[in-house]
Amino acid sequence: MRRNLTNPTVTVVVPAKNEAANLREVLPKLPAVHEVILVDGNSVDGTVAAAREALPGIRVVNQTRKGKGNALASGFLAATGDIIVMFDADGSADPAEIPDFVDALIAGADFAKGSRFAAGGGSEDITILRHLGNGGLNFVANRAFKTTFTDLCYGYNAFWRDLVPLLDLPDVNRAAPASGMLWGDGFEIETVINCRMAAAKVRISEVPSVERRRIHGESNLRTFSDGTRVLRTIIAERRRHHQAKASVTDISVRRGAHHTEFDRAESGSTSRFDEAKGRRERIA
Ligand SMILES: Nc1nc2c(ncn2[C@@H]2O[C@H](COP(=O)(O)OP(=O)(O)OP(=O)(O)O)[C@@H](O)[C@H]2O)c(=O)[nH]1
Ligand SMILES: [Mg+2]
């Protein structure tokens, strides 16, 4: 599939759980785009009505299970734009930065990763402790995936929609397990997406971003348990990546092939593992 690099359409996916007051302020500030999708998490504060009032053309999608991860997966599936922007509803993401993400993708990135720690980025909402924790988690992830992320734990990102299959997020049509959530349904989603993009060796550009303070409502962040969750996610995703690599190599060896049979149309991947060279190569 050829990408539309001259005038790509943009879908902004907004997961929201009880964010009526924030959406009233944030949605009117969004730039004009192809579509904005609100993914409602069974809000009880009039989130959907507030969103429709603030942005009459907004599309509303109900998520299929619980959690921010399932909300994003549901939104990605409903999206029709060439580019998807992940955009929190709480006022922490600056609408004025959306063109920077789009420009990075047009300039050649597959995944435009927001970073509070790249030159020009920042945060109004980070403590010294969280800053240090972030640094440690970036270090671990960069060792695990041979990347140079400066901000693994940040959810303001954009990517070409043709990469959605590559993310292999939990099927939105699956029933919720007894525990309520599948792996990837919860707040681990941001790290899951970053790790899977890195594992697939897509082209990643960091976009400097300034994180704003949530406008209304209480922060849901718990420094230690969220930090531990990110660490567990990096470990689980690294294991997943190694298992996938092992099974791909195994199939390839059994077929006597030099290259694995993944191609871009089938897997959404822009690269394939070259057995002879022992590394992934870009698909022309
Ligand atoms: N649809 C849906 N949205 C959710 C769910 N959980 C969180 N969100 C939304 O995801 C976005 C990010 O969640 P936040 O609670 O702000 O989490 P955070 O950004 O990590 O932490 P703070 O901003 O510090 O509270 C917000 O727009 C939330 O409304 C959910 O279960 N379903
Ligand atoms: Mg937030």
Does residue 67's CB lie within 6 angstroms of at least one atom of ligand 1? yes
For position 255, what pLDDT does the model report? 46
Cβ < 5 A residues, ion ligand 2: 90, 92
Indicate which residue's Cα is closest to atom 1 of ligand 1: 41
Residues 218, 127 share a domain: yes
Residues 110, 42 share a domain: yes
101 belongs to a structural domain:
yes
Rounded to whole angstroms, the Cα distance separating 274 from 259 reads 5
Question: Which range marks the domain in which residue 153 is found?
Answer: 10-243
Does residue 89's CB lie within 6 angstroms of at least one atom of ligand 1? yes
248 belongs to a structural domain:
no
Ligand 1: which atom is nearest the Cα of residue 155?
A: 19
- C-alpha distances in angstroms, 130 versus 54, 72, 109, 126, 224? 33, 24, 28, 6, 9
Residues 160, 270 share a domain: no
CATH number at residue 55: 3.90.550.10
Residues 121, 78 share a domain: yes
Does residue 219's CB lie within 6 angstroms of at least one atom of ligand 1? yes
Instruction: Tell me whether residue 21 is exposed, middle or buried, using C-beta atoms within 10 angstroms of its C-beta: 0 to 12, 13 to 18, 19 or more.
Output: middle
The count of domains in the chain is 2
For position 225, what pLDDT does the model report? 79
Does residue 106's CB lie within 6 angstroms of at least one atom of ligand 1? no
66 belongs to a structural domain:
yes
268 belongs to a structural domain:
yes
Residues 215, 260 share a domain: no
Does residue 15's CB lie within 6 angstroms of at least one atom of ligand 1? yes
Residues 258, 163 share a domain: no
258 belongs to a structural domain:
yes
Predicted confidence (pLDDT) at residue 270 exceeds the cutoff of 90: no
User: What is the CA(265)–ligand 2 centre distance, in A?
Assistant: 35
Residues 265, 238 share a domain: no
Residues 230, 272 share a domain: no
Q: Rounded mean pLDDT of 259-281?
A: 40
Rounded to whole angstroms, the Cα distance separating 212 from 94 reads 7
Find the range with the poorest average confidence among 26-35, 112-121, 221-230: 221-230
Q: Rounded mean pLDDT of 249-278?
A: 41
Predicted confidence (pLDDT) at residue 184 exceeds the cutoff of 80: yes
Does residue 17's CB lie within 6 angstroms of at least one atom of ligand 1? yes
For position 249, what pLDDT does the model report? 56
Contact 37, 61 (CB under 8 A): yes
